[in-house]
């Protein structure tokens, strides 16, 4: 039952320190990045120690960081300032956006700006399972401007998918808030969160 909650709400083990090898040097990829998003790091001193419910953004905030990156890249603001993980966390706390066990409730994100953010649009929502979205569907959604968040590390971490690779259809470019990685392979993804913003 715990693993279902992990997939549904995104409880994370985001900052577990492990070495993850790249298959190529970053300069060897032929990246297509249709939209630029800021890269937020979950242990940034500006918000890393901010508490969600009982855990910090540094420890379990990779989903919040990925969503913040998407919101900021699309120009959204909270209280007149560009979104960042700290401001999103504060907003979520004051709008019942977490369960008591630090799980982000994705359905609350559209309440930030109901007329332009959707979790239920056609092609949006939760996609569970390694092959719930094909490589082509991911590419299409990213090109279309949807915010696509990939669940990696067997469900323990989230990254914002920012682009794809023209030299290798298995490679997707990401903003990774917890590790020094800029790509993951298609087979690394075990699920997705997709928002229209």
Residue the block writes with tokens 């907003």: 91
pLDDT of residue 24: 55
SS (H, E, C) 17-29: CCCCCCCCCHHHC
Residues of the chain with pLDDT under 70: 1-28
pLDDT computed for residue 3 by the predictor: 33
Q: Residue 97's pLDDT is what?
A: 97
Residue 131 has a pLDDT of: 86
Residue with structure tokens 């715990």? 2
**pLDDT at 159 (0 to 100):** 98
DSSP string, the chain: -HHHHHHHH----TT-------SS-GGG--EE-SS------TT-TTTTT-BSSSSBHHHH-HHHHHHHHHHHHTT-EETTEE--HHHHHHHHHHTT-B-TTS-B-GGGGGGGSTTT-BSSSTT-EEEESTTSS-HHHHHHHHHHT-EEEEEEGGGTEEEEEEEEESS-TTEEEEE-SSSS-SEEEGGG--EEEEEB-
pLDDT at residue 130, rounded to an integer: 84
Which pLDDT belongs to residue 5?
34
Cα 44 from Cα 158, distance rounded (Å): 17
Q: Which pLDDT belongs to residue 26? A: 55
Render pLDDT for 101-146 as a digit per residue (tens, 0 to 9): 999 999 999 999 999 999 988 889 999 888 899 999 999 999 999 9
């Amino acid at each position: 039952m715990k693993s279902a909650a992990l997939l549904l709400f995104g409880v994370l083990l985001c900052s577990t320190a492990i070495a993850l090898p790249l298959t190529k040097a970053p300069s060897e990829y032929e990246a297509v990045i249709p939209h630029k998003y800021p890269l937020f790091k979950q242990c940034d001193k500006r918000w890393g120690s901010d508490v969600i419910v009982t855990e910090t953004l540094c420890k379990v905030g990779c989903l919040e960081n990925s969503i913040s990156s998407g919101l900021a890249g699309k120009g959204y603001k909270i209280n007149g300032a560009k979104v960042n993980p700290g401001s999103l966390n504060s907003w979520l706390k004051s709008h019942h956006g977490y369960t008591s066990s630090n799980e982000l409730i994705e359905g609350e994100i559209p309440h930030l700006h109901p007329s332009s953010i959707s979790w239920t649009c056609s092609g949006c929502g939760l996609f569970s399972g390694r092959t719930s979205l094909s490589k082509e569907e991911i590419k299409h959604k990213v090109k279309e401007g949807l915010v696509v968040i990939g669940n990696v590390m067997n469900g323990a971490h989230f990254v914002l998918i920012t682009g794809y690779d023209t030299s290798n259809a298995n490679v997707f470019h990401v903003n990774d808030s917890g590790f020094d990685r800029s790509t993951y392979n298609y087979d690394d993804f075990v699920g997705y969160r997709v928002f229209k913003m």
